[in-house]
Structure 1
């Protein structure tokens, strides 16, 4: 008799039919300690710890970081609502999730709040059984009713619309008993168990007044009642926020947390601009910083403190997905609704000159939305892509089938900016824009104006050369810098013409593509479809991508999506780097011997480093 058969027999003898069904889970599924989108689970049941941590790392000490300039101020402790700005670190440090991903696997998650997960054979539901040890910060157990409450709140009208989009294929959350909850899906999708597994759970008691619940958007400054490794500590609005490690953290010795979150205190310092932040780092006001511009890395991160070893700088290799960054067009505006106009504006950016003169040759050019990955479209569509694109032929331009996928314009010889601007002028003329009376005008005589919106002066050195090129085409372009609060408000209201946007990369593209490009979100204020992409072909390809059951299906759908988006010229692609550039104060921290493959440096430091002089001692 097989081990599984023996387990089934024992279950039936112990608990009859009920025991058997509980073991099997929904519709005959087999409960597991982890879920992988394509079945490739690295760590077996009962593993001791992840390979990239030090399980014997001592607890104690403190680390201080600089908050991103865009989060240099905050006015709420609720990270789930549209209005206001939450402090950095809040979501990852304070809230636990049902499942937790790893830093060395692309699409696998292991039980955290949930001790096991069972996916139905038809893919239409997933059942989580909660760990009986899971506790909120107030000492109360984490129950299935809390998980349902969280889901209902995040998909309700009080939450930011990105959550209802992210969980859009989840039909319902059903409480089965105190520790078991089932999520029912609208359609099979191997990623959906990972999506609901990433639910950041909070207590039903958070924000209650006299025992009565309040709408999520009415909870603003009340400290969250969650179950993560840290709680909010001292707060000095406009200056810093401190997180204190919960000494009674329920998962401190769980295998998915062993060797992690070792600091007693994590502090974020607030600075108004990057220059002040770097000077604060050199002066010893905080311990860890990441450089995001090649110019700063080359010109500022040097000097006596670096030479003496007091400050350490490193370029750290990683295997992260490249993601996307670029100037995003607001295609809701009539003058930017024509792809030929958007393509013409893209031809005005001389990236090769920028990389030589501004970036110290440190970057590569982004080509599309999945650069440097197996999901990137190349050349003409292959048979697998054509199988997806052919049914959409009536909705697609012939160029999608007849021409290679568009590449960013180049000024490398034999090309030149002059040649690119000639091509841009022809595209604009075909779209109805001609130069007369000192400006580029439409048939009604209205001049073409364009505003680049940003919340940082540093982008000016990139934008200004583009403005000069646009001026040669007769476009009256300007660069406007506003503070982050105004920028965020205008972004959420789609009150912009062209702005910088970054879309974080995913090792396995999925629901984030729905959020970024699906037409159902094009006119939803606050949605992450900032450009207003509303293309039925894009919608259909996103649906195919999210329904992929094998990696081959995912690759084909992603390549087809990348191809169609690039033919739409919805953005002017920027650049990317293959390394993380970070610096930290020497003599204060140690780190595991093994560097993970997929990580952000700040998250890695906070979760895996430890102090060399801990106050609590060995584990």
Structure 2
């Protein structure tokens, strides 16, 4: 990468200016993926905080499992919860906009109109926790070390940078390749900045319980390996006066205690050794909380306005038995969500009908003219239903019988060449019995699979559940060595380059991606490209809805369920702001009532 000395860059800029070709741009306090930032220059605070929240007290939280590394930037090792508050990025994301970043370590930015480059002008007040100033050299060092040794997705993104130029001790410019560059200024803006150091460069890839030097609002105060980590509020944090930090990071100390399983963590909460916990179990949420020693736990349900994760049974279409759409449709009819929700999930969930559920990005109703125009070049590979029907999942009366649905499933399997032979569904041509292995690493999934198995048995399909350890499970996913798994894909209100990692043809044949179903469609690739290069919000929404329609019509998964609420149990002294963000709530927004 080119790195021009400061005087040479000045001469180049002067030459371009004299030629009428200056690349200078207006300096901004924020950058939005599309449209204008919600918050103006010199705004006071985010709307979802309590700017008058008192400072003080200790917040005790729980985590499950263990940790063995204090380097959160590596794939190797498991980092503890809360470590993100030790570091700061160039720009800070707001949580009540689809994707907008505000000045943070970078005080101002300049961005090319075509997003081909961005210049970060650093805040001269920005400091690492040891008091040393943050410079452009630190930014360059962080970029290079994360590109070379960081997490795979980070490395992939950072490879799109074509040049990095230090323009002055407090200014640095990044340039991007054309492919997918519209999002790249924001991705680089989210980069955490580490201090340039030869020792860090040498030891970066070593898993260690020695914390890296950060520049955030908290410091690592004490570590009990694998069991506990304590963070202390940094009174000397350079960024306390920034508007995005008002009303946040209010506790003097935050403690994460690690427990071997969630039941033990729940008991720790009930005995008031833990102050708050997010609940993921519908059974526990409805029955495990109540009065304790005359004090009632609070059960708060902040609303979520993000796309709900697509939690689903996933078919591996690389296997011949799942390559036939009719088979995937038949198995979708065999899953009785209404019974599962009523009898296992306490009726607390809604059925997922979109890869972008609970958001304006979801494809609802019949196809629009704009979506049709995007997909019309691919009519040869797409089903006609994409263009003339809205997607609908089968529904039952919740009785568990689902006779009509099973009858529909039988007809689809018959059309796909299957017959019942000696009580077993068998492919007429190959003579192979239809057998399914559900691969899991989470015992909780058994309760979802078991009622499904009963309906599969009525269709003559043999199935078994194989539970394996996390490492073995990940290895099999990496190699796509499974029949059916239960997986979850998270989404944002501003999807981008990550969609290629989820659904592209290249990802389908590359080990270790998240295209677990093995989707291989030119239409999908085209919609991903359209999303990644969208220059305005309307284009992004249209392309995302078109992608959603294609994915749904292929029946690559059996969608399960979602909730548009967070389930937060907390003791009365832990207070929350009244207005949730799109992301709901989080510990950085809370405060302790005793300090009011």
- TM-score scaled by length of structure 2: 0.89
Out of 51, 54, 57, the position equivalent to 2:50 is: 54
Q: Partners in 2 of 1:292 and 1:576 — Cα distance?
A: 11
* 2:170 aligned to which of 163, 169, 179: 179
Cα distance in 1 for residues equivalent to 2:414 and 2:254: 56
Instruction: Output the CA distance in 2 between the equivalents of 1:285 and 1:26.
Output: 61
Q: Is the 8 A contact 2:142 2:193 kept in 1?
A: yes
1:278-317: CA deviations, max 9, x gaps? 1111012211011222222111122445xx4342222223
1:404 pairs, out of 368, 374, 389, with 389
The correspondence for 1:139, drawn from 126, 131, 146, is 131
In the alignment, which residue of structure 1 is the partner of 2:310?
A: 324
Unaligned runs of 5+ in 1: 1-14
Distance in 1 between residues matched to 2:473 and 2:12, nearest whole Å: 61
Q: Give the structure 2 partner of residue 11 of structure 1.
A: none
Classify the secondary structure of the residue corresponding to 1:193: helix
SS in 2 for 1:394: coil
Residue of structure 1 in register with 2:295 after alignment:
309
Alignment of 1:334-373 (within 5 A): 334-373=320-359
C-alpha separation in 2, matches of 1:339 and 1:83:
38
2:451 to 462, 465, 475: 465
Give the C-alpha shift of residue 384 in structure 1.
Answer: 0.1
CA shift in 2, pair 1:394/1:143, >3 Å: farther
Moved more, 257-266 or 170-179: 170-179
Equivalent residue for 2:6?
none
The correspondence of residues 56-75 of structure 1 with structure 2, limited to 5 A, is: 56-67=52-63, 69=64, 72-75=65-68
Pick which of 576-585 and 322-331 moved more: 322-331
Distance 1:152 1:355, change over 3 A: same
How do residues 100-249 of structure 1 correspond to structure 2 at under 5 angstroms? 100-156=92-148, 158-167=149-158, 169-187=160-178, 190-205=182-197, 208=198, 211=199, 213-214=201-202, 217-249=205-237
Distance 1:212 1:558, change over 3 A: closer
State the SS of the aligned residue for 2:396: coil
Contact 2:304 2:565 in 1 (8 A): yes
Native 8 Å contact 2:303 2:580 kept in 1: no
Kept in 2, the 8 Å contact 1:28–1:121? The answer is no
- Match of 1:151, SS? helix
For 1:91-141, what per-residue CA distance to the aligned partner results, in whole angstroms no more than 9, with x for missing partners?
x32221111111222222101111112111222112111112222233333
Once the two structures are superposed, residues 36-76 of structure 1 have per-residue CA deviations (whole angstroms, 9 ceiling, x without a partner) of 12232222212222233233433322111121x4xx12222
1:436 aligned partner? 421
* Structure 1 residues 596 and 499, CA gap change in structure 2 (3 angstroms): same
Does the CA contact (< 8 Å) of 2:58 and 2:251 recur in 1? yes
Q: CA deviation at 1:489?
A: 4.3
1:256 shift after superposition:
1.7
How many pairs were matched up?
582
Moved more, 530-539 or 368-377: 530-539
Matched, 1:82 2:93: no
**Aligned mate of 1:446, from 410, 423, 432:** 432
Query: Could you say if the C-alpha distance between residues 98 and 471 of structure 1 is closer, same or farther in structure 2, counting changes exceeding 3 Å?
Result: same
Are residues 1:610 and 2:591 paired? yes
Q: Distance in 2 between matches of 1:329 and 1:514?
A: 19
Shift of 1:17: 7.1
Change (3 A) 1:551 1:340: same
Measure, in 1, the Cα distance between the counterparts of 2:166 and 2:425: 61
TM normalised by structure 1 equals: 0.86
Tell me the alpha carbon deviations over residues 497-543 of structure 1, each in whole angstroms, 9 at most, x when there is no partner: 32222222312222332332233333444433333333222111011
